[in-house]
Structure 1
Amino acid sequence: MNLINKIKSNIRLSVQILFTALTNGYLLGYANGKIYKGDSKQICVPGLNCYSCPGAIASCPIGSLQAVLGSRDFKFSFYIIGFLMIIGAFVGRFVCGWLCPFGLVQDLLYKIPLIKKIKEVPYDKYLRFLKYIILIVFVIILPLSISNYSGDGKPWFCKLICPSGTLLGGIPLISMNSSLRRILGPLFLWKMFILISIIVLSIKIYRPFCKYLCPLGAIYGLFNKYSLYRYEIDYDKCIKCDLCHKKCDMNVVVHETPNSVECIRCGKCIKVCPKNAIKTTFAKNIDLNKKSNV
């Protein structure tokens, strides 16, 4: 019974762990040090999910998008673009808060106690534009414009930046394959530098990768105001106590912009609101249905 109560009180963490286990739980991949290449790898999952992770049973939408844009045969994928639009239109950045494995990693690092947290980052407002620059330059422009002798581009974001790929893909593969360890070079050291930097920052700053660098979060955030799953404020109840803003680790002023592009739908603002003035569109519809049945 205590276990059930703990799961209920930590429902978001439970969903994050479960989804990570489902999408990155191919244990034979870790045992053999090989990448799973079954049919499910042709399917994208909503969050960052490195193709090179030995446990990954599906693909990352950002990695897949770069692969298509860099291909000499294809420059557009209705499947990937459609997938991102459908997920975004349905839930927006809910994916970041509940379904992304690297989001879970950052959440767990931020829970490390006895270390002073940084709530306000200098130049935070300007740094948040970096993820859009990374999306445009590294995910779109470079794969489209720079190709090798055979006409294929490279997944530049995955190759030069993505710390999730290094943590969940690069390190496990290298640790289990001596042949890969022998060819390590400056690029891997650069990727390790980025990963270690993100890890250290994640202990002090809530989700620095999501806030400043993630191109997938940049895409989903554009749908927040229009997605079917949104936050709504009952301004007749709201007393503007600012508790929702103080509780928000993404620094969203919830009572003013409940569907900010930065909101990851974690739900902390809903729990802390003393007047129950914040609801989701889904919860609102459930309430209306209950009232109509009375």
Structure 2
Amino acid sequence: MVKIRRAYEALFLGLFLFFLLITDLRYLKGWPVSLFLEATPLVAVSTALTTHTLYRNLTWGLLIIAITMIVGRVWCNWMCPFGILHHIFGVIGNRRNTKQMIEVNRYRKIYALKYYILVAMLAMASLWIIPTTLSAPGRVYAAYSGKELPQKGLARVFAAVTTGVAEAAEEHKTGNSTLQIGLLDPIALTVRSMTTSVLPTAQKATESIYTEPREYWQAWVVGLIFIGLLVANWWIPRFFCRALCPLGALLGVFSRFSLWRIDRDPVRCTDCDLCLKSCEGASDPHTDLRKSECFVCLNCIEDCPHDALSFRFLPRKASEVTYPAVGRRQLILAGLFGVFFFPMARLSGGVRKNFNKAVIRPPGSVAEDEFLRRCIKCDQCIRVCPTNVLQPSLFEAGVEGLWTPIMISKMGWCELNCTLCSQVCPTGAIREISIAEKLGVGPFESKGPIKTGTAFYNQGRCLPWAMDTDCVVCEEVCPVSPKAIFTRNVEVTDRWGGKLELKRPFIDPNRCIGCGICEHECPVKDDPAVYVTAIGETRDKSRSLLLSLVEDNAQDLVSV
């Protein structure tokens, strides 16, 4: 069975790397490149809490939960790419003898930390429950006493409760939750790290991954975290999986229902503890098995010299530790941390009134509050972007927005006829849009094009404005038609008293879509004379630049 498991590990790691490499304009061609992200149960559960919907293919996560409830945490050791990488690094760095291996694989209290992390993150995702609970009784009474419900008697009571609670939940989901599981979700973390650090580094050596080199803002931070977590295996095997992984904690909760598990025959067992030598999950197979910690690696069965261990259907309950070893007080404190951290983070600015002008989201992004309730920081959109304009943010969007995608036009620009980022987003933070919708043509003509921001001029740095030097680069590269950048001919007097004819550029805010190519191509490279900010984006009416756009063409995407 161990050989079969290793074959599955090679298969799933290879499949993950294959999908990662073909997440590219040249190779995409309909491949399900976001499959691993969509199959993560933690993403399905947490986005269902923050948005009250289960987005598209996230139902794959429910299948993983079902498998876990049958055979245990097979995901962690058979399918998870990050878990497989930890296994590989652990083998590479292992210099311990048998006795040391046995000791290092015993269960430790610190391994309960992942459950507290999970509770804190789910508390941030479900804070809307508190105001919903407070306002639901009034909504239920209003629904029951109103004239809208046709039912009578007990059926009317049930209908009023359902309607009232649903209305209260819908009202309070906005502004009362955030999605932070992407910080430590193993698939999101791996894709983010590969995208921003590993693949660009590999490009330097092979020059075969990208058509042009890629640079990512502060990628070294992501890279160091990724490498640090892998190297930690040399001190504590599978440290991330055992102590930090919130997905492992979620699957550990569901694995208590598993029908099959490792079972020890106390008659044959000689208490040699050799079953601990290669135990991946530190699940104590030498005594009562910790069901929530077992990765179903089956190494213990392989290592047992007396055939005292087997993988059995419905073994004795007395020989297992069914529940995770966590304390109620600690769980409550973790939940309270999540409940209080979210409002403190949100009220620190960066999302509403004091939103950062640099937070320019990809085209098709939903409004910022909804975006922060959907984005898992996987940076899959950054991986597929052909121009390198999408970058992982730091704290431009507040602490909630860490590593979410923003457009930095000095790095690239948004290609006019490209919607790849919307095609690979696994959670709908970037809606899947067509070229016609992006350009505002055909059936979308009445709405107009999707605007990600608006360009402005710093006349003190613009060559025609500040230095009496001809330059029309920004106008030439503007991709929309009619162009959003136009020039006016002016006659000026130079420093010697001579007359000069100049073309000075101006922005038409009705035409500008915020693509950023003008800023990218501006010859004033250090601090471009033309720059794009988030104002004027069509995903949020409150950020519209012109009153006419609010009234006529604004797209309310808050609830999409």
Q: Normalization by structure 1: what TM-score?
A: 0.69
- Deviation of 1:125 (Å): 2.6
Q: For the residues of structure 1 that align with 2:26 and 2:46, how far apart are their CA atoms?
A: 25
Q: 1:161 aligns to what?
A: 184
1:13 to 6, 22, 27: 6
- How far the C-alpha of 1:212 sits from its partner, in A, is 0.5
Deviations 1:197-238 (A, max 9, x none): 202212332111110011121122234443122112222322
Q: 1:111 to 1:275 in 2, by over 3 A?
A: same
My pick for the range that moved more, 105-114 or 8-17, is: 8-17
Match of 1:25?
A: 18
Please give the alpha-carbon distance, in whole angstroms, between the structure 2 residues aligned to 1:241 and 1:227.
Answer: 27
**Is 2:215 the partner of 1:181?**
yes
Alignment of 1:163-242 (within 5 A): 164-172=187-195, 175=200, 176=210, 181=215, 184-185=217-218, 189-242=220-273
Contact 1:65 1:80 in 2 (8 A): no
Tell me, yes or no, if the aligned pair for 1:92 and 1:224 is still in contact at 8 Å.
Answer: yes
RMSD value, Cα: 4.0
Q: Could you say which residue in structure 1 is the equivalent of 2:342?
A: none
User: Pairwise mapping of residues 1-294 of structure 1 onto structure 2 (< 5 A)?
Assistant: 10-26=3-19, 29-32=22-25, 41=34, 49=36, 51=37, 58-71=38-51, 73-74=52-53, 79=59, 82-113=62-93, 115=95, 125-138=108-121, 140-145=122-127, 151=175, 154-158=178-182, 160-162=183-185, 164-172=187-195, 175=200, 176=210, 181=215, 184-185=217-218, 189-281=220-312
Seen in structure 2, the aligned counterparts of structure 1 residues 200 and 22 have a Cα distance that, compared at 3 Å, is: closer
CA distance in 2, matches of 1:166, 1:177: 25
**Using the alignment, how far apart are the partners of 1:212 and 1:167 within structure 2?**
17
Bigger Cα displacement from structure 2, 252-261 vs 211-220: 252-261
Percentage identity across paired residues of the two chains:
26
Distance 2:282 2:236 in 1: 11
- Residue 129 (structure 1) shift: 1.6
Q: For residues 174-194 of structure 1, what are the alpha-carbon distances to aligned partners after superposition, in whole Å with 9 as ceiling and x for unaligned?
A: 735989835x24xx5543342
User: Is the CA contact (8 Å cut-off) linking 1:270 and 1:279 kept in structure 2?
Assistant: yes
Count the aligned residue pairs. 255
**TM-score, scaled to structure 2:** 0.39
Task: Give, as a single letter, the amino acid of the residue that structure 1 aligns with 2:114.
Answer: K
Would you say the 8 A contact 1:90–1:229 is kept in 2?
A: yes
- Taking structure 1 as reference, are residues 92 and 127 closer, same or farther at Cα in structure 2, changes over 3 Å only? same
> Which of 94-103 and 233-242 deviates more?
233-242
Shift of 1:156: 0.9
Q: Distance between the aligned counterparts of 1:198 and 1:283, measured in 2?
A: 35
Distance 1:60 1:231 in 2: 24
Pair 86,115 (structure 1): closer, same or farther in 2 beyond 3 Å: same
Q: Check whether the contact 1:70–1:144 (CA below 8 A) recurs between aligned residues.
A: yes
Q: Structure 2 counterpart of 1:279, which letter? A: S
Q: Identify the structure with the greater strand proportion.
A: 2
- Quick one: which amino acid aligns to residue 157 of structure 1? I
Alpha-carbon spacing, 1:137–1:238, altered in 2? closer, same or farther (3 Å)? same
Question: Secondary structure, in 3 states, of the residue corresponding to 1:262?
Answer: coil
- Unaligned runs of 5+ residues in structure 1 are 1-7, 44-48, 52-57, 285-294
Shift of 1:67: 2.6
Q: Which amino acid aligns with 1:228?
A: L
Relative distance call for 1:65 and 1:225 in structure 2 (3 A) is closer
CA 1:136–1:283: 2 relative to 1, 3 Å: closer
Residues 170/234 of structure 1: CA separation in 2 closer, same or farther (3 Å cut): closer
Unpaired segments ≥5 residues, structure 2:
129-172, 201-209, 316-560
Q: CA deviation at 1:250?
A: 3.4
Q: Equivalents in 2 of 1:32, 1:254: separation in Å?
A: 48
Instruction: State the shift of 1:87 in Å.
Output: 2.1
Residues 99-135 of structure 1: per-residue CA shift (max 9 Å, x gap): 21111100111111575697557x9733212111111
Distance, in Å, in 2 between the alignment partners of 1:106 and 1:254 is 21
RCO comparison, higher one (Cα < 8 Å, 6+) = 1
- The one-letter code of the counterpart of 1:181 is E
- What amino acid sits opposite 2:310 in the alignment? K
Question: Does structure 1 conserve the Cα–Cα contact (< 8 Å) formed by 2:42 and 2:61?
Answer: no
Distance 1:17 1:168 in 2: 18
